[in-house]
Amino acid sequence: MEPRKRVYLDHNASAPLLPGARTAMADVLALTGNPNSVHAEGRALRKHIEDARTAIARLAGAQTTRAAFTGSATEAITQAIVGAARAGAIDRIITSTGEHKAVLKAAAAAGVPVNEVALSADGVIETAALGKVIADADVAGETVLVAVHWVNNETGVIQPLDEIEALLADTQHFLFVDAVQAFGKLPMKFAASRIDMAAVSAHKIAGPAGVGALFMKARCDKFVLIPGGGQEQGRRGGTESAALIAGFGKAAQDLAGAYDLERVSALTDQVERLIETHAPDAEIFGRRALRLGTTVNFAVPGLANATAMIGFDLGGVALSAGSACSSGKVSKSHVLKAMGVADEMAQCALRVSLGWTTTEADIEFFEKVLVGILAQRKSGRGAAA
C-alpha cells in the first residue's frame, strides 16, 4: 500500500532541510573534537565553523567577523535586546505591537521602559508614530533601541526598513532587525545599512533547527547574553555545535540554487486566487501592503481555525494558524489583533507558507482538500467559530 500523500505548506515555521545541509552535518558528526582546541581534530572542526560563517555573512551582505553563532534566532534576539540593556547602552526600547513574541518578551525582560508603536490595518508599522517616539527620546536625552522585524512571520508583510533607517540617521540610537523571515529571500546588505544588529535562523532557510546567528556592528560587541568561555570572539559563550553550524552554512550556500522567489510568489498568487474562487467571503490579511511572496494568511468566516487545521491535517496538508511558537496550541494571533482584526475573524485565521519544495501539484492538492473542508462547512458538519 502506497503511503498517503502529504503536502507541506508551513515553510514559515520550518523549511524542509536541503540535501546538502544534511550531508554537511553528517560529515561533521563523523569528526571528533572540540572546535576550540588547537590540535588537528579541533582545527578541522573550526574550519567547518568558519566556512559556515563566511557563507552566512555573504548571504547577509556582512563582514565575516560580524557574525556570531547562537543556539536559535530567539537567543540572538534576546542577546540583542537584553544584552543592550544589560550593557547600559540604552534607556528605552521602541518596538511595534505586531512583533514576534521573541522580540516582545525580550523587550519586557530587558528592564528598561518599552514603547509599542501601533500597526496599520494592513500590518505596517506607523512610521509617523515611531518618529514621534524617537523625537521625544531625543528631547529627553535618551538613547533608544528600535527593534522591528523585516518580514512578519504570520502575514508576510514587509516593513518599511528604509523609512525606519532614515528616522535614525545621524543619531546615536540603535536599530535591531528581526530578519528571520527575510534572510535568504530578500537582498540583505547589513554592512552598508543603518542596521546595528540582525537576527537570523538556520531552519527558516532550509538548514537545521537549533542554530541561529546575530550580526552585530562593532559598537554592539559588548552586548553579551551568555559570557561563557570566550567563544565566538567573546560575544556568545559555549562550545559551538559544529555540525549544526555546518548545516547552516551549507544551506546558505545552496539556497540560491534551490529557491526561486519568483516561482514561489506565482504559486502564492495561485493560492490566493483559489481561496477567493472557492470562498468569496474569505479575508486575506495584509493584502494591500507590500508582502513577501511566500505567505497567505486568510480567514473564512464561520470556519474555526482549530477545526480547519484538523481537516487539513487529516486531508494530508500541513499548514498553521499563525506562529509555530505556542507549544502546539492554537491561540489568538496578537499580530491580527494589532491590525484591528475582529476576534471572530482572527479565530478563523489560517497561514499557508510556501518554499523551495512547493510545487504546482501541491497547490492543486491543497485546493482539493480546501474544497472538501468548505463543503463540510456548508453542510453544517464543520464547527463554526
Domain CATH for 187: 3.40.640.10
End-of-domain residue from the set 257, 288, 315: 257
Neighbours of 98 (CB within 10 A): 29
* 100 and 238 inside one domain: yes
Q: Which of 57, 67, 62 is nearest to 189 (CA)?
A: 62
Encode burial over 160-172: b for 16+ CB neighbours within 10 A, e otherwise: bbeebeebbeeee
Query: 97 in helix, strand or coil?
Result: coil
Q: Looking at residue 379, what is its pLDDT?
A: 73
Q: Whole-angstrom Cα distance, residue 212 to residue 68?
A: 9
Q: Which amino acid is at 202?
A: A
342 to 143, 211, 346, 347, 377: CA distances (angstroms): 36, 36, 6, 9, 21
Residue 159, in any domain of the structure: yes
Distance from C-alpha of 86 to C-alpha of 97, rounded to nearest angstrom: 23
Distance separating alpha carbons of residues 319 and 366, to the nearest angstrom: 10
Give the type of residue at 92: R
Domain end position, chosen among 257, 282, 305: 257
Q: Which residues contact 276 (CB under 8 A, 6 or more apart)?
A: 282, 284
Question: Within the chain, how many helices (H) and strands (E) appear?
Answer: 12, 12
- What does 134-191 look like in DSSP terms, one character per residue? HHHHHHHT--EEEEEESB-TTT-BBP-HHHHHHHTTTSS-EEEEE-TTTTTTS---TT
- On whether the CB atoms of residues 196 and 216 are closer than 8 A, the answer is yes
Q: 89 and 120, same structural domain? A: yes
Pairing status of strand 295-299 against strand 349-353? antiparallel
The answer on 249 and 137 residing in a single domain is: yes
SS3 77: helix
Given a contact cutoff of 8 angstroms between Cβ atoms, the answer to whether 130 and 161 are in contact is no
The reply to whether 247 and 302 lie within a common domain is no
Domain count, the chain: 2
CA 22 to chain centre: 21
Q: What is the pLDDT along the chain (385 residues), one digit of tens a residue?
A: 455 789 999 999 999 999 999 999 999 999 999 999 999 999 999 999 999 999 999 999 999 999 999 999 999 999 999 999 999 999 999 999 999 999 999 999 999 999 999 999 999 999 999 999 999 999 999 999 999 999 999 999 999 999 999 999 999 999 999 999 999 999 999 999 999 999 999 999 999 999 999 999 999 999 999 999 889 999 999 999 999 999 999 999 999 899 999 999 999 999 999 999 999 999 999 999 999 999 999 999 999 999 999 999 999 999 998 665 554 556 689 999 999 999 999 999 999 999 999 999 999 999 999 999 999 877 765 544 4
- The closest of 347, 324, 329 to 337, measured between CA atoms, is 347
User: 91 in a domain, yes or no?
Assistant: yes
In a shared domain, residues 266 and 146: no
Range of the domain at 227: 19-257
Q: Which residue has the cell 560587541?
A: 221
- pTM value is 0.94
Answer yes or no: do 76 and 207 share one domain: yes
Residues 322 and 233 in one domain: no
Cβ neighbours of 209 (radius 10 Å): 14
Q: How far apart are CA 124 and CA 157, in angstroms?
A: 7
pLDDT digits over 285-327, tens only?
999 999 999 999 999 999 999 999 999 999 999 999 866 555 4
By annotation, the residues acting in catalysis are 325
Summarised one tens digit per residue, pLDDT across range 127-146 is: 999 999 999 999 999 999 99
pLDDT recorded at residue 217? 98
| 273 and 244 inside one domain | no
pLDDT given at position 90: 98
Confidence (pLDDT) at 249: 98
Same domain, 134 and 145: yes
In a domain, 233, yes or no: yes
Pair (244, 365) in one structural domain: no
CATH number at residue 281: 3.90.1150.10
What is the per-residue pLDDT across 81-136, written as a single tens digit (0 to 9) for each? Answer: 999 999 999 999 999 999 999 999 999 999 999 999 999 999 999 999 999 999 99
